[in-house]
Structure formats: C-alpha cells, structure tokens
Amino acid sequence: MNAITVDPLVAAVQTNCHIADERHAGDLTLCIYLLQMREFYRWERGLAFGAPLARDAIGAWIAEREMLWGTLASQEFVPLPCGPDAPPLDAFDVDAVNARLRPRGWVYGAGLVGAERPVFFLAELHGLGQRGGVDVVTAGRELARGLLAPPAMLGSGERGPIVLRQASLARWLWEKFEAYTLRPVPGTAFHAVVQAYGLDQDFEAALPRCLEEQCETLVLHELGEHQAGGLLGPRWAAMRLALPTRRADLYARAVRDHLADLGLTLPTLLDRDAAAAIHFWFANFDGIRSLLFPTLPEAYAHWVRGDGGAALRRAAAGGVVHFTRLAQDALALHAKSEALAGQAIERLLTAPSAVCPGLDPA
C-alpha cells in the first residue's frame, strides 16, 4: 500500500474502494479480472507502465487482497473524516466532501457506474473548467482507488460535473497498448491509433498528446450523456433501477451511450477532422454497443477509404433516430407499470428490432 494511505481520509476512501471491490469483482470474467488486477498492483506499488511483474509476487498479492475482501463482506461503507474539528461525512455526499478538500488541492469522487455498482476515488486536483454549461473537474495523481477505475464520470446535477481521471485514463491507455503489442494486427482501428501517435516508437513520449486528445473525446461523450439525459429526463434513471438483470441494465446503458456518441461525439470529431480520435473511438467500439449497431463499422470503413465522413454522418443521424425511439419505447413501458415492466423492457432492448438497421453508405 502506498505510504500516503496513513492519512485517515485516504485510508477511509481506500477502505470503501475495497468494500466495493469485494462486492463486485466477481462480476468480471477471469481474464478481465486478472488484467485489471495486474494494473491495480502496478498502481498500488507505484510501478511504471510495463514494469515487469514477478508471477509469484503478484500471485501472493492477489491472494492477500482476496483475503482482505473476505474480511469486509457485508460491511457498510465507512464515513469520511475530512477534518479534525468536523464530524465525518457520508461517503456519497460528494459535494460536501469536496468543499472540505478544495483547500488541500484534492478531489473526491463517488458514484454508480451501473445499477448498484459504486466507485470511489481520491486524487490530487489537476484543474477546473467549464464546457457548454457543464463543470469539468480534472483529477491527477490518485491517492485511493478501486479495481474498477472509469476514466470519466458524469454527475447527476444540471451542471454535472464531468470528472476526468487522467491517471486512470493513462493506465487504461497503457493496458490497450500492452494488449496490442502481444498481437499487433495491421489494418485495425487500434493499429491506426498506434501509428497516429507513435505509441510503438516511445509510449511515454507519445502519451501526453494521446492523453490530451482522449480526454477531449471523453468530455464530448459526457457532454453527449448530459444532452441525452435532458432528452430522456429523470425517468430514465428510475427505469434502469427497475430492470430485473444486469444484462438488461447493460443494454440500457448502451442505448444511452449511442445517443451520446452518435448525437455529439462522432459528429464533433468529424467536424474537427480528428482522425486519431475517430480511429480510437472505433478501436473501442465493442460489446453491446456493437451488437446494437453492427453495421456502424462499415460507415467507418468508408471514412477510412476517404469519403470525408459522409457515410458516418448518415449512419450517426439514423442511429440517433433509432435509439431515441427505442429509449422512448422503454420509458413508455416503465410508465405503464413501474413494478411490472422490467422484463418487458429487457425483451424490448434485447429483441432483434432493437438493432439499428444498416444504412446505405452510398
């Protein structure tokens, strides 16, 4: 554990991270779990990207961590001591905690990345800004974090905020690059990313530019999420909480992601001719998002061949119409019967009709 964890606040936040990990690490596939644990180990030990890992050492550390999690089973999240002369604050009272931490130059985050899946972190405050009426908070070196470390989060208020975790994004970029080096495939979207930034020449030297541009893409996505939230209204969050399975929630999340990226992120990147960022977006187009829009990479291929983004713009516009209708149908089912609509909404989101049809790119 980093020496900084002797600070009572850091120790409390890290404890809550451990509790969240104990509850949800089992949701990951074994492969993803081991990959994330490797990077978590590097972070906790203060190791550089690509630092060699002794198999025995990391194996013993994983065993110790799982034993620690076992001692935390069923434990509630602990309150946060934010000053010697003030009572501890609730772990989810983010605004109050940050008001106390601002003089220290720290920033705290707590939120849900899925139904009932909390994430906590504590970091050095790197910067404050504002975009399109939404506050943007940039976090630097992280003092406490969990296994799951999303690079960006959007607050639920009218002004967000958008929280960017630069250190988490940097490690995630390294994970992507490290996986690529094990099996480089020319012609793929990520190969184009590697060539555009020169990651294969000197990762550390190329990282600042890559980090800056991907932070901007994350801001665009979160602004798109904020825009989608205005379209869907507060009933969307209530609908997600009523869904019966994690699978259904993942589909609902993918629908909103599509509304965010097809409505704002991709059109903006095309307007800016941000080639490396577009390649990177498609390098990460996978999972349920790709199941719901399997023909979108065809439009990307036309862009790669030089159509100026015409096919991508048409596909994005058609996707916005499709996924807006799908989201509204889900909300209508929820409005009819909040208690009974969960299974019907899951059937709607996972039905063949939920898949966005291919559009003629010509």
Burial class for 274, CB neighbours closer than 10 Å (0-12, 13-18, 19+): middle
The CA-based angle 225-227-228, given to 5 degrees, is 65
Model confidence, pTM: 0.90
Using one digit for the tens of pLDDT, what is the confidence trace for 102-138?
999 999 999 877 656 889 999 999 999 999 899 999 9
| Positive or negative torsion for Cα 80, 86, 90, 95 | negative
- Identify whether 292 is part of a domain: yes
* Residue 217 pLDDT exceeds 50: yes
Q: Are residues 233 and 335 in the same domain?
A: yes
pLDDT at 1: 44
Q: Are residues 143 and 206 in the same domain?
A: no
User: What confidence tier does 361 reach under pLDDT thresholds 50, 70, 90?
Assistant: very low
- Identify whether 163 is part of a domain: no
Give CA–CA dist 139/106, Å, rounded.
8
- Identify whether 184 is part of a domain: no
Range of the domain at 319: 189-354
Using one digit for the tens of pLDDT, what is the confidence trace for 154-208?
887 788 899 999 999 999 999 899 989 989 999 999 999 999 999 999 999 999 9
pLDDT at 4: 44
Q: Are residues 238 and 331 in the same domain?
A: yes
Q: Are residues 206 and 102 in the same domain?
A: no
* Residue 148 pLDDT exceeds 70: yes
- Identify whether 165 is part of a domain: no
- Identify whether 258 is part of a domain: yes
- Tally of domains in the chain: 2
Give me the DSSP letters along 99-129.
HHHGGGTEEEEEEEEETTEEEEEEEEEEEEE
Question: Per DSSP, what are the bridge partners of residue 114?
Answer: 117
Q: Are residues 114 and 261 in the same domain?
A: no
Q: Are residues 115 and 197 in the same domain?
A: no
Residue 349 falls in which region: left (phi positive, over 0), alpha (psi -120 to 50) or beta: alpha
Q: Are residues 226 and 106 in the same domain?
A: no
Using one digit for the tens of pLDDT, what is the confidence trace for 281-305?
999 999 999 999 999 999 999 999 9
Q: Are residues 20 and 144 in the same domain?
A: yes
Q: Are residues 208 and 350 in the same domain?
A: yes
| Residues of the chain above pLDDT 70, percent | 96
Q: Are residues 50 and 144 in the same domain?
A: yes
Amino acid in position 254: A
Q: Are residues 316 and 215 in the same domain?
A: yes
* Residue 5 pLDDT exceeds 50: no
- Which parts of 132-183 are beta strand (E)? 134-145, 152-157, 160-165
- Identify whether 360 is part of a domain: no
- Identify whether 101 is part of a domain: yes
263 or 4, which is more confident: 263
- Identify whether 32 is part of a domain: yes
DSSP state of 153: E
Using one digit for the tens of pLDDT, what is the confidence trace for 306-328?
999 999 999 999 999 999 999 99
Candidates 191, 218, 43; CA nearest to 199 is 191
| Residues of the chain above pLDDT 90, percent | 77
pLDDT at 359: 64
